[in-house]
Amino acid sequence: MKKLLFKLFLKVFKKEYNAVVQSMIDLGIKNAGKAQLIRTRHTKRLELEQFVSRRVICISNENDNPVIGRGLCVQSLSQNGSVALVVKDYVTGSNKICLGKIYEYTTQRFIAIFKLNNCEVISLLYRASSSKWVLKEPITTILSKEDIINRLNDNGFYTSIDSIPGRDRHQNYE
């Protein structure tokens, strides 16, 4: 009897029934998408928090100097939940929001970055073909490795109280 009534109900109210079913599916997809977005944002925040209070090298996708410094905090950039690492840049002496590739600072990474030109660094880190990559004119002058090392020394990157125990200063730059 129930089956018969349900079939009759479907014949009479088929469009309404299908609309209700579709709205339930849409709502489920929307809620699942929101949950996934929240998980993704949380994961990104956790990934960036590992760099707080640590020495870092940040490579921009722009033709600019690498940011070498210490992670200060993870900051929300907008209401949509995007986050970025705020770094005390020991090259310029200012705090910068880093949106590029972020790596823990090691002497080996520092030296490796300066063995490549800017186009090669960007093509390697951002998977861009160097033959297709077009660099804009730099906003600032790109500093040499020696200039950056001098600024890091002058600004206390290697001697600061917050330095990481067990890390040596640059002894061999080649």
Where in the chain are the domains?
2-47, 50-154
Which whole number is the average pLDDT over 73-92?
87
The answer to which of 6-20, 67-81, 104-118 has the lowest mean pLDDT is 6-20
CA distances from 144 to 15, 22, 74, 137 (A): 70, 61, 29, 17
pTM of the model: 0.65
Segments in 50-144 forming alpha helices (H): 107-115, 118-126
User: For residue 127, what is the DSSP state?
Assistant: -
Burial of 143 (0-12, 13-18, 19+ CB in 10 A): middle
Supply the pLDDT for residue 51. Answer: 94
The answer to which of 60-64, 89-93, 148-152 has the lowest mean pLDDT is 60-64
Supply the pLDDT for residue 74. Answer: 92
DSSP reduced 3-state for 66: coil
Task: Provide CB contacts within 8 A for 137, sequence distance 6+.
Answer: 63
For residues 130 and 129, which has the higher predicted lDDT (pLDDT)?
A: 129
For residues 90 and 21, which has the higher predicted lDDT (pLDDT)?
A: 90
